[in-house]
Amino acid sequence: MSAITLVEAVNQALAYELNADENVVVFGEDVGTNGGVFRATDNLAAQFGNNRVMDTPLAESMIAGMAVGMASQGIRPVAEFQFMGFIYPGFNQIVSHASRLRNRTRGRLSCPIVYRAPYGGGIHAPEHHSESTEALFAHIPGLRVVIPSSPLQAYGLLLASIRNNDPVIFLEPKRIYRLVKQEVPNNGEALPLDRCYTLREGTDVTLVSWGAMLHETQQAAIELDKQGISAEVIDVATIKPLDIQTIINSVEKTSRCVIIHEAARCCGVGAEIAAQLCEYAFDCLSAPIARVTGYDTIMPYYQLEKSYLPSVQKIIDATLNIMETV
């Protein structure tokens, strides 16, 4: 078995499920003949036919809304938005319909849809191609929000998302699409949703992150270790519903927490995690919860994106700052 990248793991999961379930269909802009602008759907149209892997007209509300209609009849649509920055025309369909259909029909119809979108900064892209707005979706009842951080996770979580009977916003951190390779057995085994993953065990501080930022977070943990600070690293992975218990358990052990995300700080998912830690684990905190995040500004064009995004050094500094608190 050869090692594959995160984007190849996405492709492998899509192919596995297209093969396993004839109700699964894949569509979006350029996903057919071209195999997607990042090649996530490479070769799928040739393999499964263009009535199951479809190039759609260029219309994102249509992509989001037709998925609702398909899903209402038992199709399991995997819809791609080419970039998260172009998901907003589909926002009405996702928020007003996909998230609500099960409830408003009291279970008669449901939306087993996966809305995939590459997201996040760091690839020198034009404007609107670099934002991280997972919090918009995490706020909406009825949606799931899933963000993998490795090829293994991308494979297992995407399979789980396709098989899940509720709508999932599956955000792929494109900065790490090809950053690392892992051996990913093509065995069709899904990972559980609603679970955080502990990537590194530690005793002094809990670093909580997701997606591409885990790359910097894990590097920071290695550097902190050199300074005698043992950091536990938690990959949230399933942003919604949030497995707060795993984070609470960790903070009960370490008594300190730093939350790292590249989205803007205000009302970010970090705010929800911090609020729940204050509600449920306040007594065991020996320092304020710290956040290392993008700024509450417009995501800058790529010349300045490095100064916008959390860095290893910013994570180390924020951690050292709360370590000083008794």
Partner 1 sequence: MVHKTTVANFEISHLRYLNEHSKLTQNLPTFADDKTLIELLRLMTLTRELDQQIINLQRTGQMGTYPSCQGAEAFSVGIGHAIYKDDVFCPYYRDQGTTIFRPQGIMGLLQYWGGDERGNNIDSLDQDLPISVPIASQCLHAVGVAYALQYRKQNRAVICTIGDGGTSEGDFYEAINLAGTWKLPVVFVINNNQWAISVPLSAQTACQTIAQKAIGAGIDGEQIDGNDVIAVRETVREAIDKARSGNGPTVIETLTFRLSDHTTADDATRYQPQDVVQQESKKEPIARLYNYLLATQIITKAQYEKMSQKCKADIDKSIEEFLKIPKDKATSPFDHLYENLPEALIDQYHEIGATK
**What is the token pair recorded at 136?**
């918009």
Q: How far is the CB of 11 from partner 1 (least distance, A)?
A: 22
**Residue 16: closest CA among 122, 142, 151, 158:** 158
In sign, the C-alpha dihedral spanning 73, 75, 78, 80 is negative
- Residue 245 vs 321, nearer CB to partner 1: 245
Q: How far is the CB of 12 from partner 1 (least distance, A)?
A: 24
SS3 244: helix
DSSP 247-305: HHHHHHHHS-EEEEEEEESTT-HHHHHHHHHHHHHGGG-SS--EEEEE-SSPPPPGGGH
DSSP 20-45: H-TTEEEEETT-STT--TTSTTTTHH
Q: How far is the CB of 66 from partner 1 (least distance, A)?
A: 4
8-state DSSP, 321: H
Which residues are at the interface with partner 1 (CB under 8 A)?
25, 51-52, 56-57, 59, 61-62, 64-75, 77, 89, 92-93, 96-97, 101-110, 141-142, 144, 164-166, 194, 240-245
- Residue 96 vs 182, nearer CB to partner 1: 96
- Residue 7 vs 25, nearer CB to partner 1: 25
- Residue 138 vs 213, nearer CB to partner 1: 138
Q: How far is the CB of 184 from partner 1 (least distance, A)?
A: 27
Q: How far is the CB of 96 from partner 1 (least distance, A)?
A: 5
- Residue 60 vs 232, nearer CB to partner 1: 60
**Residue 134: closest CA among 68, 98, 70, 87:** 87
Phi, psi dihedral angles at 207 (to 5 degrees): -100, 120
**What is the token pair recorded at 131?**
């934002």
Which residue is catalytic, options 129, 139, 215, 261? 129
Q: How far is the CB of 165 from partner 1 (least distance, A)?
A: 4
**What is the token pair recorded at 11?**
């492709």
On whether the CB atoms of residues 192 and 219 are closer than 8 A, the answer is no
User: What CA–CA distance (Å, rounded) separates 163 from 165?
Assistant: 6
Note if 261 is an active site residue: no
Environment class of 2 (CB within 10 Å of its CB; exposed 0-12, middle 13-18, buried 19+)? exposed
User: What CA–CA distance (Å, rounded) separates 289 from 307?
Assistant: 22
Element (H, E) at 235: strand 231-235
- Residue 196 vs 205, nearer CB to partner 1: 196
Any idea which residues carry the catalytic annotation? 129
